[in-house]
Structure 1
């Protein structure tokens, strides 16, 4: 049999035991599973406890690697306690550690001890989006000359295709500013703004780029990502923001690498 045809099957009789084992592994209130033994009988529970602690610590460290700004904001002790509760509530479902933590921002939003930091969950969402953008598929970004070659009447009815790495996040808080201030090791000064912020994440080259975008540009980008034709997206944005600068917005999202292409249609093809 060729390796590509190999499949891993789970013994249906072993599955309940495996699920029970995993549940006990992440719950310190539960005893070691039946059948767990050690050379010195009574040491089995202690050894299982050591294994349980190692697994939990590994998962906490995985979350800390994905959410370094969140860690810096809260401090290690607070972060580890919060992460430990999250691990118990939402154990991993994938063997890939970088996949773990997708539910962490939502958990932070509901975590009672983080209520004094209502913006923390949105900062964590930016961090999770950063990792997803980093691991997104490689695609060439839309080149400015591609738009220059399109007829104006066709361009107005064109639908744009977002780059696989593009992420657009809205926050009722200055999440981008807080994220940016805490992502590195430099001292954090006072963040003056209290306004809501939109964050655009792209990967036009090798690295992920994170930038704040204005509300009007964000509305335009969001519409295009939803498949709204360029002309209609521009009209809707102008209706909401009369001072919207369409040329600047297009130049901005092209420079950012937010899209990988567009499909030009005639006016009769627009729906």
Structure 2
């Protein structure tokens, strides 16, 4: 199978031709591009169909590798069908397959046949966050010493610098509990959690860590990640949750490695 001069004989440029080729490659309802012929110069519909199927199977395999928990929950047949529709709707834009699937969770949320599993999209978001954290830039995590060195009167104006690997996710469902239960090969027993959950994804050293955090700590971390000062982020959490334990929340975010530095008076303090 070969394109006739890559389509240039018809006056096409490389980029438009590539888009034209890719558009037919992932849509089984479209015929092979007219410029694609077999070695004898005849039509290549059958061979193009084989190539199309191989590409789709490879992309399904890439999604399965990125979302193993989602695959385990749905089962291979359901996952393959769902992934196939996603691939047609959202083809890859990068040659790096680990970059694929950023839109998969959003697709699952709209996928008609997944409506009986309304938490599935949030589980997929945790999986995507895990991989993004794994590939995030290296940075030493914030230790307690730089924070302890800040004068008490300056603590409220201190800003925290999020670690490149840190991801914070919220779910109206017990997505973290479902994710954790299906992350291992052991049989999954009853999941007793029923409340909404917050999930913090970090990579403090070499391994990605995924943990459930309380809503009050999540509110403070969310504010800090958005650039709020410690005083404002903690104040909002205290105003919302009467029993918010600020020292415990700070110790928790330090232990998790969620941040890599602090900024006081506009200057960054290294770890």
- Assess same fold via TM > 0.5: yes
Match of 2:211 in 1: 211
- Does 2:245 correspond to 1:245? yes
8 Å contact kept, 2:122–2:171: yes
d(CA) in 1 for partners of 2:63 and 2:145?
Answer: 41
Q: What is the Cα deviation at residue 43 of structure 1?
A: 6.5
Match of 2:30 in 1: 30
Q: What is the Cα deviation at residue 178 of structure 1?
A: 0.4
d(CA) in 1 for partners of 2:124 and 2:96?
Answer: 19
Name the CA shift for 1:29/1:12 in 2 (closer, same or farther; >3 Å): closer
- Does 2:50 correspond to 1:74? no
d(CA) in 1 for partners of 2:111 and 2:244?
Answer: 38
Look up the SS of the partner of 1:142 in the other structure. coil
CA offset digits 1:44-70 (Å, max 9, x no partner): 211111110110011000000110000
Match of 1:101 in 2: 101
d(CA) in 2 for partners of 1:15 and 1:230?
Answer: 49
Give the TM-score taking structure 1 as reference length: 0.92
Match of 2:6 in 1: none
Look up the SS of the partner of 1:262 in the other structure. strand
d(CA) in 2 for partners of 1:130 and 1:118?
Answer: 20
d(CA) in 2 for partners of 1:255 and 1:157?
Answer: 22
CA offset digits 1:169-216 (Å, max 9, x no partner): 000000000001111211111101110000000000001000000000
Match of 1:111 in 2: 111
Match of 1:146 in 2: 146
Alignment of 1:1-271 (within 5 A): 13-39=13-39, 44-265=44-265
d(CA) in 2 for partners of 1:218 and 1:35?
Answer: 55
Unaligned 5+ segments in structure 1 are: 1-10, 267-271
Match of 2:269 in 1: none
Name the CA shift for 1:12/1:43 in 2 (closer, same or farther; >3 Å): closer
Look up the SS of the partner of 1:32 in the other structure. coil
Q: What is the Cα deviation at residue 161 of structure 1?
A: 0.5
Paired residue total? 256
d(CA) in 2 for partners of 1:188 and 1:163?
Answer: 33
d(CA) in 2 for partners of 1:131 and 1:47?
Answer: 35
d(CA) in 2 for partners of 1:14 and 1:246?
Answer: 58
Q: What is the Cα deviation at residue 15 of structure 1?
A: 2.4
Q: What is the Cα deviation at residue 41 of structure 1?
A: 5.5
Q: What is the Cα deviation at residue 13 of structure 1?
A: 1.8
Moved more, 42-51 or 55-64: 42-51
Name the CA shift for 1:256/1:12 in 2 (closer, same or farther; >3 Å): farther
Q: What is the Cα deviation at residue 93 of structure 1?
A: 0.8
Look up the SS of the partner of 2:73 in the other structure. helix
Unaligned 5+ segments in structure 2 are: 1-10, 267-271
Look up the SS of the partner of 2:200 in the other structure. strand
Q: RMSD across aligned C-alpha pairs, in angstroms? A: 1.4
Name the CA shift for 1:265/1:25 in 2 (closer, same or farther; >3 Å): same
